[in-house]
Amino acid sequence: MKRKLFWWVSSLLMGIYASVIFNLETVLIISFLFLVLTVILLYIKPAFINAGLIFCCACVLVGGFYVEYIEMKDISTLSDFSGKTVEISVHVCDYPQKGKKYFTLYGIAESVKTEKGTYYFAENAMLRLYDKECSLEPGDNITVKAKVLLPRTSEKISDDYSLYLKTKKIYTILSVSGGNCTFVSKGERSFFETLSVIRRNMSLRLYEILPKDEAALLSAMLLGDKTGLDDEITESFSKSGISHIVAVSGLHVNTICAMLYSFASLFGVNKKLAYFLAVILILIYVPFTGMAVSAVRAGIVAVLFITASVILRRADPLTSLAIAALIIISHNPFWAFSVSFMLSFGATLGILLFCEKITNFLCRIFNVTKSNKILYLLFSAFSITASAQIITMPVIICYFGSFTLWSFITNLFIPSLLLPLFTGGILLILADIIFAPLAKPIMLFVYPILKAIIKISAWFAEKETGIIKAQMETKTILLYIALMLLVYLFLYTDERSEKLKPDDE
């Protein structure tokens, strides 16, 4: 079994998903029966069963037990006060996000004051502040009189709010009515809180340079700050199939590295030093954009590829993707249930598994070669979208209740606008910091691209004929993804056996 790490991590993820979607007992029974059958077949006919399959089965069990271990380990102190109104000291970690009814605020609960005394601890918390205004900043220390609530649960993971909060290691919601939040002091900011302040200041500067909608879009794409995007733009991006462009991902990281390499080459910087600087830049940029799953995945894969280049080795994309997933879920297995994780890793996995095969198939059907550059590029662009949708389509249907066919069209040309947009956007931010007058001519280049993306997405979003309403059960997603992996395993094994056949004399 080639790429053992990829299959082992895939099995680990299957165990994590199955233990929550079904239950640990079901995972244990199925894994045990499969393990017994595998051992028997291995003894009777060793050539029929690869020993790696036994390890994959063990990884499924480890994934199931790991979720149970984390739930027992991360005991919530605040949940002991569920349904009660208590006084809580909170350290603010991020800027408040304004909603229709309340502000959402993330912080660290440090103590609870009750009639029996004060309990000191440190636990991640999400607050709902029912105030008209909220000017809190990262690093602020506050005292709130809050009602402790348990988030809703559901058998369907897309409706399970408690599962979403577990991705942030949050187990309770603090509901704070108007006037019950008191500012105490300015505390010391952590590294991530400092980055959050810098990101917000940069975002505000973009609003001074560009119109509101265009500034909000560029801020989301480059800085990971989506708070300025209004519901209309978010919905139009979803309906037109280009929501992924506002998520910091591999294209962002690759663009930044390419710009660094260009400057390094221009100034004659040693290649290995340029690689080292690229790694440092990635390690700063990923936390700077808010540590979104897609950004973390892209950062880890980029660092692995750079490291492979330094030691003169060729990095395997599937193995690199598996390492990124392993690092993320080892920190918190519930990140696997984040829709960002599913879409980011699912799209990348689909592209790596099926893109080349779809492109070759289309080229054979229409008799197109690489010499016909225009058609080949169109087929390649279509194949990227199609292969990404193979894995992500059921996730999109489960979480959003619809699937858009417009993504096959919009993703043929919208991605071609992103590289010049990212490059221009980064230069715009740097120019505003270094020498503000330079920002205006760069803005004149960036603005039409942003405007075009917003207009195109809005036009396609109005065409309801390309949007398919559908529903899918959570259990079906797990079975579907497992089936796709088995299809790839069959295709890869078949392809490999063809290559190993001796040539006819």
Side chain identity at 269, as an amino acid letter? V
* 3, HSE (Cβ side, Cα atoms, 13 Å): 20
Q: What pLDDT band is residue 106 in, cutting at 50, 70 and 90? A: very high
The H or E element spanning position 467 is strand 467-469
DSSP 289-350: TT--HHHHHHHHHHHHHHHHHHTT-PPPHHHHHHHHHHHHHHH-GGGGGSHHHHHHHHHHHH
pLDDT tens sequence across 161-173: 999 999 999 999 9
- What pLDDT score does 71 carry? 83
Name the strand (E) or helix (H) holding 129: strand 117-129
Pick the CATH number of 78-189 from 3.90.230.10, 3.10.580.10, 2.40.50.140, 3.30.70.120: 2.40.50.140
Summarize pLDDT for 433-490 with one digit per residue, the tens. 888 888 989 999 999 999 999 999 999 999 988 888 888 877 787 778 777 777 776 6
Q: Can you tell me the mean pLDDT for 360-370?
A: 89
Residue 204's pLDDT band, with cuts at 50, 70 and 90, is very high
- Residue 500 pLDDT class (50, 70, 90 cuts): very low
What's residue 50's pLDDT?
Answer: 61
Q: Are strands 173-176 and 140-149 parallel, antiparallel or unpaired?
A: antiparallel
Residues 6 or more apart whose Cβ sits within 8 Å of residue 361: none
Pairing, β 117-129 against β 173-176: parallel
Q: What's residue 107's pLDDT?
A: 95
How far, in Å, CA of 160 to CA of 121, rounded?
A: 27
Q: Indicate the pLDDT class of residue 503, thresholds 50, 70 and 90.
A: very low
Distance CA 52, CA 9 (A): 12
CA dihedral 462, 294, 299, 265 (to 10 degrees): 0
Is residue 213 over pLDDT 50? yes
